[in-house]
Amino acid sequence: MQKPKAYYITTTLPYVNADPHIGFALEIVQADILARYRALMGDEVFFNTGTDEHGLKIYRKALEEGKETQRYVDECADKYRALKEALNLFPNLVFIRTTDPHHKAAAQEFWRRCLANGDIYKKNYTIKYCVGCELEKTDSELVNGRCPLHPNLELELIDEENYFFRFSKYREQLLEMYKNRPDFVVPAFRFNEIKKFVERGLEDFSISRLAEKMPWGVPVPDDPSHVMFVWFDALVNYISTLGWPDDEPNFRKFWGTVENPIALQLAGKDQIRQQAAMWQAMLFSAGLPPTKQIVIHGFITVGGQKMSKSLGNVIDPIALVGDYGADAVRYFLARHIHPFEDSDFTMERFKEAYNADLANGLGNLTSRIMQLSETNSAVSITVTSPNRATQLPDYFARALDAFEFHEATNFISSAVQRLDRKLAEEKAFNVVKTDPVIGKAMIALYVNELSAICNMVEPIMPETAGKIRAAIKANKKPETLFPRKE
């Protein structure tokens, strides 16, 4: 038997200054589909997510709510942790918090390694700073003097002595890596963005804040007057979750080597600089292998507008699951939200897709086939075979390998429609009356085709796949999988 391959997938850590919304649900569901797919293919999967809990925004938010900062982040982390059950995420999902003692120790060790390599130094500087991004901004990045991602926030002027990371030192090494790994960032147009950014030249960036001004952060080793800048701290979660630096075997197993990198990172389009350039340069500095691949998704708008508390259009994924079920939300995010471009969400569109694709589609098809099989005692089959992965159609597997979740689910929808037409045209319920042998054989073929669809459904809608598989095994019509919503 072939030894399972190690597969590591991680999301960005959501910043806990707000409740979970449908945008992060998109990223975690995409990652979960990949984790379940790779597990189905026989790989040994390490799947990581968690919460980013340090920084100025969080410190101020806790003050605003009159809470001790640790209590505030504990409450926020619980809300994000609740997504695991709500969205029926991978059973072995690892949830990391940047306030975890091991993570903080790992971030400090990472700092020491970059410092030992001569890549950390102190200097006085003055910058324009966007608290929303937790990033400094150059004039060329601003629109009408404001951050384009957070136009409602005033830029802050920071004038102090901080520690800096020698980002500029790694321009050529980054460009060389980009050249040698043409699929390092997906999609290609996002890869072009980061290549152009690096080609223009890199400026060293601040990696600390004065503790007297911003006390909520990981203390800088040997200098408690400073805390680590939130990005420098948070990015280290990708390896601290693997036990680095204490558990070297586990780290090597799932992060890989320079020659054979393993880690796959998912992130939003506003994170490309941090993920594909800053983090990679930091890894170079610490003497660690780079990421294998980074997948960048777009934003979800609501009714054509950016989600905003002030507009009252923030979509709560947990509430949506409460009304429609986890699998309906997972399916919609996979099929009807483009994996790389911005996409719009409306409840009208969601309900229409739910009724057409699931209630009248897969749910109705499953009910009809299993009713036929149960009524006519057709020979049932089992779908618990360990070889399910080999039964996945090539087109479906290629779509998931390319992170094209919409194409994979489109293929499922097409298979459902084809089988539905077959039932209508062949009229097995009539054939079985005149020729029971042929009729039952036809029904058994339908059940087999439903089983094949179930294999594809499994990584996307795991609960539904389990119900279909149980119905086939028992040769019984299941309870309604997706009740129609009026």
How much is the pLDDT for 383? Answer: 46
Whether the per-residue pLDDT at 134 is higher than 80: the answer is no
CA 33 to chain CA mean position, Å? 9
Question: Could you read off the pLDDT of 425-448 as tens digits, one per residue?
Answer: 999 889 988 999 899 889 989 999
Tokens of 336: 């009807």
For residue 252, give every residue at least 6 positions away whose Cβ sits within 8 Å of its Cβ, in sequence order, or none.
Answer: none
In this structure, of 100-104, 117-121, 173-177, 303-307, the range with the lowest mean pLDDT score is 303-307
How much is the pLDDT for 1? Answer: 47
3-state helix, strand, coil in the chain (%, to 5): 50, 15, 30
Omega cis (within 30) before 245: yes
What average pLDDT does the segment 113-119 reach?
Answer: 98
Give the strand pairing for 94-97 and 120-130.
unpaired
Q: What percent of the chain has pLDDT over 90?
A: 79
> For 377-412, what is the HEC assignment?
CCCCCCCCCCCHHHHCCHHHHHHHHCCCHHHHHHHH
Omega cis (within 30) before 436: no
Give the strand pairing for 293-297 and 263-268.
parallel
What average pLDDT does the segment 405-423 reach?
Answer: 97
Beta sheet of 120-130, edge-to-edge order: 135-137, 120-130, 156-165, 205-206
Whether the per-residue pLDDT at 274 is higher than 80: the answer is yes
For residue 3, give every residue at least 6 positions away whose Cβ sits within 8 Å of its Cβ, in sequence order, or none.
Answer: none
What average pLDDT does the segment 289-318 reach?
Answer: 89
Domains of the chain and any CATH numbers = 6-297 (3.40.50.620), 347-474 (1.10.730.10)
How much is the pLDDT for 384? Answer: 45
How much is the pLDDT for 351? Answer: 97
For residue 106, give every residue at least 6 positions away whose Cβ sits within 8 Å of its Cβ, in sequence order, or none.
Answer: 236, 239, 240, 244, 245
How much is the pLDDT for 390? Answer: 61
Whether the per-residue pLDDT at 130 is higher than 90: the answer is no
Kind and range of the H or E run holding 126: strand 120-130
State how far the Cα of 332 lies from the Cα of 358, in Å rounded to an integer.
10
In this structure, of 153-157, 174-178, 480-484, the range with the lowest mean pLDDT score is 153-157
Whether the per-residue pLDDT at 229 is higher than 80: the answer is yes
Whether the per-residue pLDDT at 165 is higher than 90: the answer is yes
What average pLDDT does the segment 394-420 reach?
Answer: 97
- Average model confidence (pLDDT) across the chain: 92
Residue 202 phi/psi, 5-degree rounding, is -115, 145
State how far the Cα of 280 lies from the Cα of 273, in Å rounded to an integer.
10
Name which residue leads in pLDDT, 304 or 422.
Answer: 422
Sign of torsion over alpha carbons 29, 362, 405, 336: negative
Helices within 200-335 (DSSP H only): 230-235, 237-240, 248-255, 272-273, 279-286, 317-324, 326-335
What average pLDDT does the segment 13-31 reach?
Answer: 92
Whether the per-residue pLDDT at 379 is higher than 60: the answer is no
Is residue 136 within 8 Å of 108, Cβ to Cβ? no
Under DSSP, the state recorded for 277 is I
State how far the Cα of 314 lies from the Cα of 336, in Å rounded to an integer.
18
Is residue 106 within 8 Å of 244, Cβ to Cβ? yes
What average pLDDT does the segment 54-63 reach?
Answer: 89
pTM of the predicted model, to two decimals? 0.92
